[in-house]
């Protein structure tokens, strides 16, 4: 279910000079803001939770997920080079699973690692805030990568739709509208973080069991459907 050649090509596409600069911009901004906040406000647990929840988890993680998830397959579909890949004796699910693994790894590295660093800068992991939000970023990375990989498979405007979802639904409605929170990857990952922190600083509107099931279901279904769409694309290319 994992092909090293497909993985190498995907890593090369995602970590090219231009895309790597984009991927690195938000983590650097998060760390810079964390340094400024720590210098101005000192170590404060509530401030750390606000920064990590509002900037890292609600904004940085989904945007990086968009870049990594759609970039893992979208450009190949757009320029037609995916037909060459599909002509090789590689099972279609293997292509999707490999690209998902790469997208998840890239999203985790560029979101969870900076979140942990920022958390330690802000309050030295007081009340487990840094670790809790890092765990949230890790589990969210899996679901986001699967969702946006699917989006990259079904739409030529995947980046636009992905950014709309990340910035409008997750960052705005997912934070402000009560009903929308239960359908938010952000809130599902916060449920996991709440369990890790074990306090009142990290909270979610979704229970842990519901969140775990939702994260698993979204990841599995998105991955499966992406594989089905790739099969359809193969038939279209052969015709």
Terminal CA-to-CA distance of the chain, rounded, Å?
Answer: 26
Taking only the tens place, the pLDDT of each residue in 185-235 is 999 999 999 999 987 889 888 899 999 999 999 999 999 999 888 887 754
DSSP string, 87-153: TSS--HHHHHHHHHHHHHHHHHHHHHHHHHHHHHHHHTTGGGHHHHHHHHHHHHHHHHHHHHHHHHH
Q: What values do phi and psi take at 19, rounded to 5?
A: -70, -35
Q: Is the pLDDT of residue 238 over 70?
A: no
Largest Cα–Cα separation, the chain: 64
Taking only the tens place, the pLDDT of each residue in 18-69 is 888 889 999 999 999 999 999 998 889 999 999 999 899 989 999 999 999 9
pLDDT at position 235 is 45
Is residue 239 a contact partner of residue 84, using CB atoms and an 8 Å limit? Answer: no
Angle subtended by helix axes 4-14 and 92-123, to nearest 10: 50
What Rg do the C-alpha atoms of the chain give, in angstroms?
18
């Amino acid at each position: 279910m994992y092909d090293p050649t497909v993985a190498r090509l995907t890593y090369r596409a995602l970590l090219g000079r231009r895309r790597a600069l984009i991927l690195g911009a938000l983590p650097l901004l998060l760390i810079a803001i964390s340094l400024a906040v720590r210098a101005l406000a000192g170590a404060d647990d509530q401030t750390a939770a606000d920064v990590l929840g509002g900037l890292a988890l609600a904004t940085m993680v989904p945007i990086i997920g968009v870049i990594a998830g759609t970039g893992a397959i979208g450009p190949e579909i757009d320029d037609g080079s995916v037909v060459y890949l599909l002509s090789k004796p590689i099972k279609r699910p293997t292509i999707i699973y490999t690209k998902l693994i790469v997208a998840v790894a890239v999203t985790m590295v560029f979101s969870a690692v900076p979140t942990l660093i920022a958390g330690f800068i802000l309050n030295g992991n007081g009340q487990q805030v840094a670790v809790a939000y890092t765990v949230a970023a890790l589990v969210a990375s899996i679901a986001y990568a699967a969702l946006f990989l699917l989006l990259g498979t079904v739409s030529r405007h995947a980046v636009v739709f992905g950014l709309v979802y990340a910035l409008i639904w997750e960052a705005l409605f997912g934070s402000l509208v009560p009903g929308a929170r239960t359908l938010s990857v952000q809130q599902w990952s916060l449920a996991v973080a709440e369990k890790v922190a074990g306090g009142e600083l990290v909270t979610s509107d979704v229970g842990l069991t519901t969140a775990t099931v939702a994260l698993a279901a979204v990841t599995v279904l998105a991955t499966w459907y992406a594989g089905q769409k790739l099969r359809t694309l193969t038939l279209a290319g052969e015709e």
